[in-house]
Amino acid sequence: LNDNPSHYKIALSGTMKSPKINFEPPFLMLMPVPLDVKTETAINIIPQDYLRQSQIQVELPKLELEDGDRIYPFSVEFPKGKDIVLSSDGTNKELICHISFRSSRPVSFLANLFFVDKEEN
């Protein structure tokens, strides 16, 4: 500095935490029901390390039946909203998600529901 040839080194270190979400329960099994009867359950979505507000979207599976028809038997509802909010204490508030299933055709399957945030994580 000021034409002084001395060199200064600055060492920086840090930890970056990637946002993630956990689920309680970690997997879901819906009970068999008669045709055209809705079965439903609630899950807790636990966001962690979100430093700014985001919003959850859900990608629901479509099912292809033996005759080639496609159905969308799942639906989701967020009774208190889908926004991931940072609390005053620095934690993220849990979200409640109601997942329901109804089909007028007999089906049995294993499927994934994808929960995606605003940055597509």
Q: What is the pLDDT of residues 50-102, one digit of tens each?
A: 888 899 999 999 888 888 899 999 999 999 999 998 888 878 999 999 999 99
CA distance 19 to 78: 20
Stated pTM of the model? 0.78
Domain ranges across the chain: 23-116
* 81 Cβ contact partners less than 8 Å away, ≥ 6 residues apart: 95
